[in-house]
Copies of this chain bind each other. A is one copy, B any other.
Amino acid sequence: MAEFVYKQIIDDLKKKIFAGQFADMRLPDERSLSELYQVSRSSVKQALTKMEHAGIIFKKRGSGTFINPLYIKNESVFNYEGSNLGVTDNFHMNGQKPQTRVLGFEVIPPTEELQRDLFLEPHDFVYKIVRLRLFDDVPFMFETGYIPIKIVQNLNQTIIEGSIFNYLENAHNLAVTKSFMSIFAEPSQEQDRELLLLKENEPVGIMEGIFFLDNGTPLEFSHMRIHYQYLKFNTFVSVQ
């Protein structure tokens, strides 16, 4: 963590933002930061650009760099900022204990869709893992995930009852740092209502997509069905 120059700048600026060090909602200019941290302006710019994409700040050309008021307003909202991408770390927990109930665990040949999405050959078998996630015995989502066995061969019940991503990082030094995700919503189906304790009129939020390792290898195709109260996705969008 924080091995690179730009990551150290991000960590330091975030710490200062939370400490209220920029009361005027304004960061020092790029050239000052370059001097302060004794790095090139390019490295400062790289840090600030990533912070902008994380929804922490925004830049005003000709004026300066400012803290995003929505970031201060609702910190917990920025699920994906500053942690890894695993479920365990990213849904609002408020100190509650996360639990996992394994509903399915098998190895199957990849469908054509999976072959394309995960860059697989027909003979590249995949784990199919279905898990229900809970906080303090309250279920909030269930997930169907597909992971090629050529990337990891020794998954077992104990591992998938915890965080697969943490296991991969700790035991195999494989970090999950990128994903492409679609987010949408549907009326709940009977299985949703059973597993997530939803009423007839309450919907599910759906997130599905591909998780990538730090080196760009597609690791998992995941389909998550989420209790609507637990899905709040925050994002920065920019056009070219």
A124 within 8 A of B: no
The answer to whether B182 touches A62, judged by C-beta atoms less than 8 angstroms apart, is no
Bound CA span A234–B208, Å: 10
Interface size classification for chain A? 35 or more
Q: What copy number does this chain have within its complex?
A: 2
Inter-subunit contact B237/A178 (CB<8 Å): yes
Task: Please judge, given known A-B contacts A62-B215, A201-B200, whether A240 and B185 are in contact too, CB under 8 Å.
Answer: no
Chain B residues with CB below 8 A from A217, complex form? 60
Beta-carbon contact of A238 and B178 below 8 Å: yes
Interchain CA distance A50-B181 in the complex, whole Å: 17
Residues of B contacting A80 with CB < 8 Å? 237, 239
Given A209-B70, A236-B179, A237-B80, are A203 and B215 neighbors across the interface (CB < 8 Å)? no
Question: Is A41 an interface residue, CB under 8 A from the partner?
Answer: no
In the complex, whether A232 has a CB less than 8 A from a CB of chain B is yes
* Chain B residues in 8 Å Cβ range of A186: 203, 228
Alpha-carbon distance between A209 and B133 when the two chains are bound, in angstroms: 29
A184 at interface by CB-CB < 8 Å: yes
Residue A43 CB within 8 A of the other chain: no
Assess the B85–A239 pair: CB atoms within 8 A: yes
> Does A212 touch B at the CB level, under 8 Å?
yes
Interface segment, one of A51-59, A98-106, A141-149:
A51-59
8 contacts across the A-B interface (CB closer than 8 A): A63-B216, A69-B117, A73-B116, A80-B239, A177-B238, A178-B238, A182-B233, A203-B228
